[in-house]
Amino acid sequence: MTAVPSNGGSLAATGAGDVAQISVGQRMMSATWGSILTSLLVTPLDVVRVRLQSQTAPINNTSKFTAHTTHAFKELPADLGVTACCREVFWVGNTPEMCLVGNGAVTRTSSSVIDCAVEETRQRNFNSTFDALRKIARNEGVWTLWRGLSPTLLMAIPGNVIYLSGYEWLRGDPRSPLPRVFGENYAPLVAGSIARIAAASAISPVEMFRTRLQATPGTGTGHFRATLESLHQMTALHGYSSLWRGFTLTMWRDVPFSGLYWWGYEAMRNVLTDVREMGSHARVERRSRRSSQSHQSSTTTFIDSFIAGSVSGAAAALVTTPFDVGKTRQQVFRHSADEIAIPAAAKSATIPELRPEQLSMPRFLLHIFRHEGPAGLFKGWVARCMKVAPGCAIMISSYEIGKKMAQGVNSRKIAEGDRI
């Protein structure tokens, strides 16, 4: 049975008369190599995005940041210097809670301690995407920009296989009810949203791990292990279902993004096809457009899919940035809250005061808007768009070219079989 094109003929690369159908395995291979290439190129911008969004607003009243000691501080070596002290260990949320000199209590506030706090605040406070790229690379090492690459690949490969395969079936398979129920214009929006839910359900634990890992500043080498241990402690306290704790947060961001992305992608591909065919046809009908896209050359397919993916991805990323800000802040807050709550769980039965990050997503976004204005809701939008636009362009064009190559291999096999 001949496959029906799923995105104006391109995403399901076989047209009405094609016999060189692309197998599921070939689609998976196309999605895999596209995921690897995309992850390598855009991970630095993802690290910057997470840092910018998890960076809290400046606090004007610093009177509460008085120096004090805790049990953990008494374990420090006596010869610990100011610079080493303030380097990483006692910094939470990019705010200098304290700097210590020596072992035990702080005896006095010295100018060196203040200078240390000022310098560390400057190094860990990011004003823009490019400022964050520069400071992270200089102060924490260039390879910090690729922190979280392993979980990114672990998440991207199966996630994109499920996502793209699911979208193709929902959008183009004759057994799918979406085109009949929602029509050709809105089927991409619904199919993209449903496919994203299925993919996110499978990779939500890895998404949580990656976000926590990338949000951790510093130059140490034990971040990966420390993040794993924190997740282990979380599951011991709350059960394995807590690994999907960020699922709802992810859905707030990814479902509208995916729907808008596929809706815009197919519309843009159709516009590009219409423009290209305008010289020979007064009007390109939908069926003719699909057939034309499925028979395009590899170069044309790459250019059209790259442009459509980039434009649609950037637009969808910009519109959904507030949800991304809310998701990142709530996940990072829960990571910090878990580290505090685990040792204190058995000591106190009192109900803590509800923090803004513990509100529902709409109420939390309203809180950000009231206290930080529109800029707070769109914090990190440049890094997000710079990551998403090329990421979507590279992923979809790599996927399309991979399928085009597979279709060519299948066609040659069929031709050789006919000659025999």
Do 213 and 180 touch, CB atoms closer than 8 A? no
Do residues 226 and 355 share a domain?
yes
Q: Residue 313's pLDDT band (boundaries 50, 70, 90)?
A: very high
Residue 80 belongs to a domain: yes
Same domain, 104 and 236: no
Residue 383: give its domain's CATH number.
1.50.40.10
Q: Mapping DSSP to helix (H, G, I), strand (E, B) and coil, where does residue 305 land? A: helix
Same domain, 99 and 194: no
Using an 8 Å Cβ cutoff, are 102 and 75 in contact?
Answer: no
pLDDT of residue 322: 93
What is the rounded average pLDDT of the residues 172-200? 91
Alpha-carbon gap, residue 206 to 197, rounded angstroms: 15
The burial of 64, by beta-carbon neighbours within 10 Å (0-12 exposed, 13-18 middle, 19 or more buried), is given as exposed
- Give the model's confidence band at 93: pLDDT under 50 very low, under 70 low, under 90 confident, else very high: very low
Same domain, 261 and 355: yes
Write down the pTM of the prediction.
0.67
Phi-psi region of 40 (alpha: psi -120 to 50; beta: other; left: phi over 0): alpha
The helix (H) or strand (E) run that includes residue 96 is strand 95-96
Based on the domain organization, do 92 and 236 belong to the same domain? no
Task: Supply the pLDDT for residue 220.
Answer: 59
Note down the domain range covering 98.
69-125
- Clarify whether residues 175 and 315 are in a common domain: yes
